[in-house]
Each structure stands twice: as C-alpha cells, then as structure tokens.
Amino acid sequence: MRIAVLGAGSLGTIVGAYLSAGGMDVELIDTYEAHVDALNQTGAKVIGTHEFQAKVKAITPENKSGKYDLVLLLTKQLYNDSVLSELLPFLDKDSVVCSLQNGIPENNVASIVGAERVIAGSVEFGATFIEPGVSSLTTEYTQFKKYAFQIGELNGETTDRIKQIKAVLDLVGGTHISDNLVGTKWSKLLINNAFSGLSAALNGEYGDILDNEYGIISAVHIADETIKVGHAIGISFAKMNGFDIASLEVTNEQDVPTRVQTFRAVMEPSRLLKASMLQDLEKKRKTEIDFINGVVPKMAEGTSIPTPFNDMVVKMVKSAEESQTVPDFNTNIKSFEELIKKHKM
C-alpha cells in the first residue's frame, strides 16, 4: 500500500513517523520547504509525552508522482478545492481519501474526489509543531496508543477496506471503527464552535470563556444552535467519553443555568487551551472559521432555525482577519452581552 500524508504539520509529522517506522511506503507532503528538507535530512522527530525519531520521505506538493492507495488528508479546509483538484491525477479508482480535518469536510471532499473514495476520520490526539522536522505529542502516550483515531465509512458500514485502514493507522495509535463517524464529527464540531470559535472571537483561553458570565452563556447558545441545526438535517450526535452531547440542547430559558454548570464541569480540564484559529489571527493568517462556526448558518439555510450566536462569532473572526488584528475581549464580549439580552426578550 502506497500512502500519502497530505499536510505534514504537527499531526502529520507524527503520523508519518510512526507509519514509516512500521514499514509502510509513505510520503509526507507539505508546502513548507524547510520542514520538508529537515524531514529528509534528519527524519521526523517526535518529542513531548514520548520521544521518537524515524527516517521518512518528504516532498513538496509539486513532486507528487504515481498513484496513492491511501491519502490521509490533514491540510486545512481552506485549501481543499486546490489541494484535492491537484491530487486527482494521483488517485486510482480504488484509492481512498481519509478526511482527518477539523469540521465536517466530507461532502466537499466527496464532491471533488468522488464519494466512493471517501472515508471519514477523527483525530483524537493533540500535537504542536515545534520547528522544521520536529513535532511535540501533547496527549499522554498511553492514551495516544489506546485512542488516536476514529474512522468510519460515510454510510456506517464496516467494510473490508475500513478494516484494512484501521490496521494501517494502528501502527500510529489506537484506531477505532465507528458506525456513526459523522455524528462523532458533529459532536466535535459543537465543542469547537462553542469554545474554539469564542476563543478566537474574544481573544482568550477556554478558561476565560468559562469564567465570564456572558462568555459561558454564549457557548451554551452556540452549542444549542449546532444541535438544533444538526437534528434538522438528520444528524445523530455521538456521545463523547460517555457524555450525551445532544443533552446540551436548550428547550427553554430555564435550561440555561443547568447547561452552564454542565459546560463548566465538562470543559474545566481544557481551560488552558487557546484556539488554533486565534493563533492564526495572531500570525495574521486566514482561519478556518467558515468550516467551524460557519457550518451552522450554512446548514441552517432552508430551515427556520436562527443562528445569531454562530453568526456573531463568524462576523468577529472575519473582521479580525480583514483588519489583521486580534480581537479585544472586553469590547467583543459586550456584543455577546447585548445578544443574550435580546435573546431573552
């Protein structure tokens, strides 16, 4: 099996290292030339909760050749149209593209490469890019080896090819086949919408949202909008670590204090996290906001479900992108305060 890791950043470097060490024929593909050079010269180095180094083959996108049997898609969704169009000549009719991106990219990926080629995937471990050739594993190592990926066919079937891809990814870390991977990705989207989106829109860590009255109530409403829209298009939200994500739906205003308490308990271990979208704003880069909070209003089109809180997050992040600044927490939280008061009327 010939494998491409398309987007060899923090996660892709680790994936490529373990696959290469496991004897797989794998190419790490990335646009960052200094990173590609370092990978070829000194190998992929993993630090953090585990130290490991493996010899790998890395190339820039224009040097792709032949056909890939399996493509692990780890680029940002921002670039899917161009990245996937350029990939097409290197796919055979039986090639598989495993979408491991944030958000819900599968429909877009399928529209370009063909639905029959697509399986859905979810990365369950964290990593930080340190320098060319070096990535830090931030998830505890035994947990990583136990639970690194979820994968699944779009129709939920357990096929021979999904079993084969599980065997490949098990070389990296524990890989689990799901019969509701789309539901899993929507559950993760909900958390990203509520906390990564607000982290970027307000310029704060998750803890800043948890500790602010209007921040945490806004998170509750963002989650509620995501659940309502998901249900409207037939999504069955998957449980996360045994927790029923769909139970966060708000049926009336009296539910909000209880949902606030639940969010504070569930998200407390993540209070030091800062959204990668906020880090993008700090570096004056475009974010994936259209593929995170932006998914909800887009999917709500044609329904009667309002999405003002997700709309507000998108508006604020796009404004910061355009002005190449980072948001001001004290200024932007006032807009959410006003939205909450209006919502109660």
The domain 2-179 having CATH identifier 3.60.10.10: the answer here is: no
How far is it, in rounded angstroms, from Cα 85 to Cα 120?
Answer: 19
Q: 95: closest CA among 134, 125, 64?
A: 64
**pLDDT for 241:** 73
How far is it, in rounded angstroms, from Cα 222 to Cα 201?
Answer: 13
Q: Which residues lie below 8 Å from residue 261, measured CB to CB, with a gap of 6+?
A: none
**pLDDT for 27:** 98
How far is it, in rounded angstroms, from Cα 312 to Cα 201?
Answer: 8
Domain ranges of the chain: 2-179, 183-344
**pLDDT for 345:** 63
Mean pLDDT of 244-261: 94
For residue 317, is pLDDT > 90?
Answer: yes
Q: 158: closest CA among 183, 179, 132, 143?
A: 179
For residue 3, is pLDDT > 90?
Answer: yes
How far is it, in rounded angstroms, from Cα 229 to Cα 226?
Answer: 5
How far is it, in rounded angstroms, from Cα 129 to Cα 135?
Answer: 5
Number of Cβ within 10 Å of residue 261's Cβ equals 11
Beta pairing class for 118-123 and 127-131:
unpaired
How far is it, in rounded angstroms, from Cα 247 to Cα 244?
Answer: 6
pLDDT, one tens digit per residue, over 13-69 is: 999 999 999 999 999 999 999 999 999 999 999 999 999 999 999 999 999 999 999
pTM of the model: 0.85
Query: How far lies 21's CA from each of 55, 121, 173, in Å?
Result: 7, 22, 13
Q: Which two tokens stand for residue 156?
A: 């939920």
pLDDT, one tens digit per residue, over 113-132 is: 999 999 999 998 888 899 99
Q: Which fold has domain 183-344?
A: N-(1-d-carboxylethyl)-l-norvaline Dehydrogenase; domain 2 (1.10.1040)
Strand, coil or helix: 140: coil
Strand, coil or helix: 55: coil
For residue 246, is pLDDT > 70?
Answer: yes
